């Protein structure tokens, strides 16, 4: 974070500091929970006086973009995910059709994001993707479902960031928030489908390779194919789980009935 703030070149006013921090939040460079450097260091990086910096931080805090924690410094406020209010989130979590609609929406929007990413990703974007994919490979090797699911979301975040479209960025972050908050409790079901872990790894690899190669068409198709697979796998896992539940009930009922027959016989 020490390298992301730029020296204020002109009048060195609080407004210019505010605008720079606003842009970093809007572009997704500063993310929810990120801690800003201390006042002295931040004033040095901006090359402004500490009173000017304090005015800027106070203005940003007043607008809900920053939050100061007692003894914990200044952090970026939780400004992502506000597309879905709590009542709407609760409704989504209670209706099965919402899962289907959610994946349908993601299939289209992530296809666009991957296409833009393939057109616009910079060398630094690709370097970040390289690191995430390496971690994804390691999580797959160790077989930790929770790690794999977490890095899965991080990968999609990164692809969206590569698209360099502010509206796409914040819209998809809001969608991923539904996953991280457990609104869709069955997302880990996908990993229980035989062969799913290997398939998901290959699909992420296809998106990554297409973005890295600068192939917009392939990137879009790979992203859409991936979400379609997730949708099919979730349905299969749910059906399989229901079949197992019914089978267990049948076995128990018939075992009880047989026991009763043997007792009375």
Q: 2 and 41 in contact (C-beta within 8 Å)?
A: yes
Cut 0.85: pTM above it: no
Lowest mean pLDDT segment, chosen from 12-16, 123-127, 175-179: 175-179
Residue range 58-64: mean pLDDT, rounded? 94
The DSSP H or E segment spanning 69 is strand 66-69
Q: 37 and 77 in contact (C-beta within 8 Å)?
A: no
Per-residue tokens: 144: 């930790």
pLDDT of residue 48: 92
Range list of H helices, 66-193: 86-94, 96-120, 123-142, 145-162, 166-180
Residue range 248-262: mean pLDDT, rounded? 65
Calculate the alpha carbon distances from 215 to 36, 130, 148, 222, 225 in Å: 37, 17, 26, 11, 15
Within the chain, how many helices (H) and strands (E) appear? Answer: 10, 2
Q: How far apart are CA 144 and CA 149, in angstroms?
A: 9
Give 116-168 pLDDT, tens digit per residue: 999 999 999 999 999 999 999 999 999 887 788 889 989 999 999 999 999 99
Give 48-59 pLDDT, tens digit per residue: 999 999 999 999
pLDDT of residue 59: 96
- Burial class from Cβ neighbours inside 10 Å (0-12, 13-18, 19+) for residue 82 reads exposed
Q: How far apart are CA 53 and CA 73, in angstroms?
A: 14
Give the list of residues 6+ apart from residue 80 with CB closer than 8 angstroms, or none: 31, 32, 170, 173, 174, 177
């Amino acid at each position: 974070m020490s390298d992301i703030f730029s020296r204020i070149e002109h009048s060195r006013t609080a407004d210019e500091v505010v605008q720079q921090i606003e842009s970093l939040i809007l572009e997704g460079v500063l993310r929810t929970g990120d801690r800003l450097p201390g006042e002295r260091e931040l004033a040095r990086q901006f090359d402004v006086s500490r009173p000017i910096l304090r005015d800027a931080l106070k203005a940003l805090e007043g607008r809900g973009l920053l939050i100061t924690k007692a003894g914990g410094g200044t952090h970026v406020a939780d400004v992502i995910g506000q597309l879905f209010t709590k009542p709407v989130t609760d409704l989504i979590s209670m209706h099965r059709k919402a899962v289907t609609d959610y994946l349908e929406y993601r299939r289209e929007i992530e296809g666009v994001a991957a296409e833009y990413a393939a057109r616009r990703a910079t060398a630094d974007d690709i370097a970040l993707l390289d690191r995430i994919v390496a971690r994804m490979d390691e999580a797959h090797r160790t077989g930790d479902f929770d790690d794999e699911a977490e890095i899965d979301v991080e990968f999609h975040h990164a692809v969206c960031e590569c698209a360099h479209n502010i509206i796409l960025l914040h819209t998809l972050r809001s969608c991923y928030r539904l996953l991280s908050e457990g609104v869709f409790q069955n997302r880990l079901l996908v990993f229980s489908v035989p062969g799913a872990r290997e398939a998901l790894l290959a699909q992420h690899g296809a998106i990554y390779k297409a973005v890295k190669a600068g192939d917009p068409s392939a990137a879009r198709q790979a992203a859409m194919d991936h979400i379609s697979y997730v949708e099919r796998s979730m349905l299969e896992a749910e059906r399989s789980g229901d079949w197992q539940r019914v089978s267990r009930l049948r076995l128990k009922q018939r075992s009880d009935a047989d026991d009763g027959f043997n007792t009375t016989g």
